[in-house]
Amino acid sequence: MNKKQHPRIRELKFTLSRIFRNPSAIIGFSLLFVFVTVAVLAPYIAPPKYAHNPYLMPHKGYSQTPKPPSSKNIFGTTSGQYDIFYGAVWGTRTAFKIGMFVIGVALIIGVCLGIISGYYGGIIDEIIMRVVDIIFAVPLLVLTMAIVVAFGRGLDKVMIALALVKWRDYVRVMRSSILTLRELDYVQAARVMGVSNFTIMRKHILPNGIYPVLVMASMDIGSMVIVAAFMSFIGLGAPKGYADWGQMVALARNYIVGPVDDPLKYWHAIAIPGACIVLFVLAWNLIGDALRDAFDPKQRRR
Amino acid sequence: MQKIIELKNLKKHYPVLGGVFRRQVDAVKALDGIDLDIYRGECLGLVGESGCGKTTTGKAIVRLHKPTEGKIVFYPSEEGTTAGTDIAKIPLNALKQLGIRSKLQMVFQDPTTSLNPRMLIKNIIAEPLKAQHLFRGRALEDRVMELLNLVGLTKDHYLRYPHEFSGGQRQRIAVARAIATNPDFLILDEPTSALDVSVQAQILNLLHGLQLKLNLTYLFVTHHLLVVKYISHRLAVMYLGKIVEIAKTGDIFSHPHHPYTHALLSGIPVPDVEHKQQRIVLKGDVPSPLNPPPACRFHTRCPFVIDRCKTHEPILEDIGNGHRVACHRQAEVEKLVHDRFGKRSSDNKAI
Amino acid sequence: MSKLIETIDLVTNFYTHEGVVKALDKVSLCVDHGCTFGLVGESGCGKSVTVRSMMRIIQEPGKIDGGKVLFYPGNNGSETAIDLLQQSEATMKALRGDKISMIFQEPNSALNPIMSIGEQVAESFLFHRKKEMSQQILMDMDASISKANPLKSILKALYRLAATRPEALILKLFSKTPLLKSWENRLHKEAMRRAVEIIAKLSIPHAQDIARRYPHNLSGGMKQRIVIAIALACNPLLLIADEATSNLDVTIQAQILDLLKDLKQKVISSVLLITHDLGIVAETCDRVGVMYAGNLCEVADVKDLFSEPRHPYTRALLNAVPRFAHEGELESIEGNVPNLVNPPSGCRFHPRCRDAKSICKDAFPESTKVGNNHQVACFLYTEKSREKS
């Protein structure tokens, strides 16, 4: 091992080497890299037609029947003559927005409450966990729909609603990993040294206990996109014409099967946004899998 | 001699909750009335089997838990001050403000779990200094280097993670962290039992050297009588939450007066082939601290039990030279052991 | 004395991410019939890996890369040696727990918390002694029902078939019927009877009662006794005790050691005891092997080893052990146990050795005989080093 390197860099290298030992991590991160590139370069790949709202898909005409790929619309058009290529490109940005926002907010709430609940225990723990239990009693989709209906429809409302529901998972996982950490000698040692509770949580408990939650969160980013797509599909999410994969699937819902003589006639309308969703979810799931292997405490060197 | 810590009737009962409403139905009596004086500059060994309350005593002194009853009086070092502070019940914040926190420190048993695996050595050692706001910046770094040198580590080790060290080195780091704030009193909770024989001696010698150099007082908690022999001045033997015998180390080894001490001494396997002494094998297991036997707690396993042991609890009485024993038959024990089990191991000086 | 089990140049490596851990490097030792062999060393020196390799229970990523493990099941004479490393997994399974059994450090993880103590001991009989038990039950039946009874004789024929050919088709057809269930029950009952018998043999009071309890009802010392009972159930030729007492308290350890000594005289023929405590070795063993960093440094009779330790490591180790009569500072061995990914060249002890010479760095010392049954792997005692110096 090179001694001149700063140990933190060495440690980071070690962790990265562990992650990229796993073939699924390589596939996952390459897929993610493609999505990130597309999202970043969206204005160049598919220049927006309406400068004030680039997420609005351009459309020529109002015909309900999707048109097959052509030189003008390389992925064809969907119902309402929206350009599928444009939707797929800008939908990537939407997907990242949904995943990052929902999971980010849910993580912050969940991790904070989980640490407090697990570290202090007693009556605080009791209250927080009972609230979580109550939220857990209602299924994710039902609760989200209820909140969206109360707020009014829209993609932003869906995102807020999902974040408000999703944190419940992280509280439980975080708390359970804290409960074992709390009794460890180094936490006790810190207490003997007079380190304040806040510092103990920040320096000793958070860095050692957050990995299970991180693994879970990385997998959830994908599934949140599916849930948001579902909300768009049932008409509670993005408005018509918004560049969102779920919304595009919703547009094509009447053209899943083509006419009797050519059932695959409108395949592009459903397959392209569908494939985007599947690949996006797959990428995050593979990454989550690789992270889980890399952070597995059993495999960590002594 | 000047006292540094005085325990008065210290008790710790862990509640056992039961029923739908989680009421307390019973209590595990981990510590059941400990009286102990620890003098400045000495090393007191606290010996006993697992579950006897020795670690609980140590953790009570650094207030890792709140004792149920009793007093822990700490006497600060200033000359002339005889007034101690009872730290058994005061809030933890007050403990820090009074400056007592930095004077009482602890070294834990297993160095693999007592060091945060995601912190660099320099941060681990600097942590108590930062927490007590004692040093900052350049001075902090110098102090950490000084501590590393004190425990026999070098500059190379400064920027590393704990997993890059062997068990003995990790324990050195833990010691460095404990002495960082210039404490007066260190609790050593089995500091060598997770280590190998060859390294154990290194740590013991290091601790001994530090005691002389820094004028420390130790409470050495261990289950192994022979280990503590090299470092402690006095020994206290515990059984089921009570102290049964306390004396100078030499006296415990040459003239133990409690049957339990005899059993402990003879139970240690001796690394010598010539010497085949009769071993006192106690019957049965250590009773549960949930409901310890009445009167003398040792009577269920004692080979010399008489009726009085089952009805009257023996008190810890002084039999001269600071030797205190809690046994009704303490005067005859030595003869009884000799008659029943033959020669004692430590009489055999020919090793 | 005749050999019972012997390893020749055993090499075991662990293929980890950081590199190959050379856990065992040419370990050759031999346990005789009727002998208690102690294997001592510090943690990580490979003593556990040695016996695990012998039993072929090395876990991933470990691999046995060379050597032989010869087992002599015949009671006298070494005519029928089998190399355990060449045997099939099925043979090994039949061997483990029957001819060779093992007890581990942690009794809690060795016992199944949801099975009663009796069942766990009985399991060993059901696995290894099915045939013997069936014969006995049939004999008992013959004795009890002598009168010709057509129904009973059909039953008996069925049972006989179950005892001799358990894989027969007809038995599979009947396997869920009460007829065969009652056979199973008889077997179970017999196994339980034997279990209680063996528990009682280990001077555990109220064996009947204990057999019905579950592990969490018992104390650590009692659990370790039960583990010993399971290990001894089938009268093994060799009992391997891997740090069997190091998690126990002094007074309980004294009980277990006494029990082992007692059993040694009555039941077990040979014991391979792994420990880090030289005291235990001195009190219980006949022969000792000292290991350091994957090498066997010294093998000798217990008396010779303690009176005349030859290897510098053995000497240093003996000096580092706290003793009753010892005064003053405890001697320590400088330095730390080496990392076995890059072990020191030559003799693996040379960086910490006080008597190290230049040759120690370059060459690996072969095991040499220095006395009656006393072998040392150190250049202080070889011809080569004398030539050089």
Encode pLDDT of B100-116 as tens digits.
888 899 999 888 889 99
Interface of C with B (CB under 8 A): 42-43, 219-222, 249-255, 257-258, 276-283, 302-303, 306-307, 316-318, 320-326, 329-334, 336-337
Residue type, C387: E
The region of weakest confidence among A231-240, B219-228, B293-302 is: A231-240
Residues 6 or more apart in contact with residue C46 via CB below 8 angstroms: C12, C23, C24, C27, C291, C293, C294, C295
CATH number given to A21-295: 1.10.3720.10
Gap between the Cα atoms of B285 and C78, Å rounded:
44
Residue among B184, B183, B157 at smallest CA distance from B168: B157
CB contact under 8 A, B108 and A11: no
Instruction: Over range B51-66, report the average pLDDT.
Output: 89
Tell me how far apart the terminal alpha carbons of chain A are, to the nearest angstrom. 16
Give chain A positions within 8 Å (CB) of B160: 7
Residue spans of the domains in chain A: they are 21-295
pLDDT at A187: 92
Gap between the Cα atoms of A138 and A144, Å rounded:
10
Q: What would the two tokens of residue C315 be?
A: 């000497």
Below-70 pLDDT ranges, chain C: 1, 75-79, 144-148, 166, 175, 383-389
CATH class (in words) of the domain with range C3-114+233-295: alpha beta
Sign of the alpha-carbon torsion through A83, A86, A88, A93: negative
Residue B3 pLDDT exceeds 90: no
Compute the radius of gyration of chain A from its Cα atoms: 23
Is the pLDDT higher at A296 or at C20?
C20
Sheet holding B317-318, edge to edge: B104-107, B185-189, B217-222, B43-47, B234-239, B242-248, B324-325, B317-318
Gap between the Cα atoms of B335 and B333, Å rounded:
5
pLDDT at B276: 63
Give chain C positions within 8 Å (CB) of A21: 17
Residue type, B312: H
Q: What would the two tokens of residue C386 be?
A: 């004398």
Averaged confidence pLDDT in chain B? 86
Q: What would the two tokens of residue C283 be?
A: 């009190």
Condensed to tens digits (0 to 9), the pLDDT of residues A48-73 reads 877 778 888 887 778 878 877 777 77
Condensed to tens digits (0 to 9), the pLDDT of residues A153-181 reads 888 889 999 999 999 999 999 999 999 88
Taking the CA of residue B93 and the nearest CA in chain A, the distance in Å comes to 9
Cα C171–chain centre separation: 37
Strand partners, B236: B46, B246
Q: How confident is the model at residue A1 (pLDDT cuts 50, 70, 90)?
A: very low
Chain C from 18 to 37: CB within 8 A of any A CB: 18
The region of weakest confidence among B66-80, B238-252, C222-236 is: B66-80
Gap between the Cα atoms of C283 and A283, Å rounded:
62
Q: How confident is the model at residue B179 (pLDDT cuts 50, 70, 90)?
A: very high
By the 8 A CB rule, do A91 and A148 touch?
no
Taking the CA of residue A10 and the nearest CA in chain C, the distance in Å comes to 14
Taking the CA of residue A80 and the nearest CA in chain C, the distance in Å comes to 56
Taking the CA of residue C162 and the nearest CA in chain B, the distance in Å comes to 44
Residue among A54, A59, A58 at smallest CA distance from A44: A54
What percent of the residues of chain A are helix, what percent strand, and what percent coil, each to the nearest 5? Answer: 70, 0, 30
What is the model's pTM?
0.85
CB contact under 8 A, A192 and B106: yes
Is the pLDDT higher at B205 or at C153?
B205
CA distances, B33 to each of B53, B72, B219, B242, C295 (Å): 11, 12, 18, 7, 51
Residue spans of the domains in chain C: they are 3-114+233-295, 129-193
Q: Could you tell me the domains of chain B?
A: 3-232 (3.40.50.300), 238-347 (no CATH)
Q: How confident is the model at residue B165 (pLDDT cuts 50, 70, 90)?
A: confident
Q: How confident is the model at residue B346 (pLDDT cuts 50, 70, 90)?
A: very low
For residue C17, give the 3-state DSSP assignment: coil
pLDDT at A109: 94
CB contact under 8 A, B114 and A185: yes
Q: What would the two tokens of residue B199 be?
A: 């390294």
Report the chain B residue with the minimal C-alpha distance to residue A301.
B163
Gap between the Cα atoms of B70 and B5, Å rounded:
13
Residues 6 or more apart in contact with residue B95 via CB below 8 angstroms: A194, B63, B87, B101
Instruction: Provide the number of CB pairs (under 8 Å) joining chain B to chain C.
Output: 135
By the 8 A CB rule, do C5 and C100 touch?
yes
Is ipTM > 0.90 here? no
Any long-range contacts for B295-299 (C-beta under 8 Å, 24+ apart)?
A: B296/B326, B296/B327, B296/B328, B297/B239, B297/B240, B297/B241, B297/B242, B298/B239, B298/B240, B298/B244, B298/B258, B298/B259, B298/B260
Sheet holding B85-86, edge to edge: B23-39, B3-18, B69-74, B85-86
Averaged confidence pLDDT in chain A? 86
Q: What would the two tokens of residue C373 be?
A: 């049954």
Mutate to test the interface with B, among C332, C339, C340, C354 (most CBs of B within 10 A): C332
Instruction: Over range B283-298, report the average pLDDT.
Output: 85
Chain A from 254 to 293: CB within 8 A of any B CB: none
Q: How many CB atoms are closer than 10 A to CB A164?
A: 18
Report the chain C residue with the minimal C-alpha distance to residue A302.
C18
Residue B71, exposed/middle/buried by CB under 10 A (0-12, 13-18, 19+)? Answer: middle
Q: What would the two tokens of residue B308 be?
A: 């009085």
DSSP B279: P
Q: How many CB atoms are closer than 10 A to CB B233?
A: 14
CA distances, B36 to each of B9, B105, C123 (Å): 9, 18, 51
B281 touches chain C (CB under 8 A): yes
For residue C99, give the 3-state DSSP assignment: coil
Q: Smallest Cβ distance to B281: which of C255, C281, C316? A: C255
pLDDT at A111: 94
Gap between the Cα atoms of B111 and B288, Å rounded:
29
By the 8 A CB rule, do A249 and A167 touch?
no
Gap between the Cα atoms of B143 and B181, Å rounded:
10
Q: What would the two tokens of residue C268 be?
A: 């077990």
Q: Which helix (H) or strand (E) holds A169?
A: helix A155-182
For residue C30, give the 3-state DSSP assignment: strand
Phi, psi of A29 (to 5 degrees): -70, -30
Taking the CA of residue A288 and the nearest CA in chain C, the distance in Å comes to 21
Strand partners, C376: C298, C368
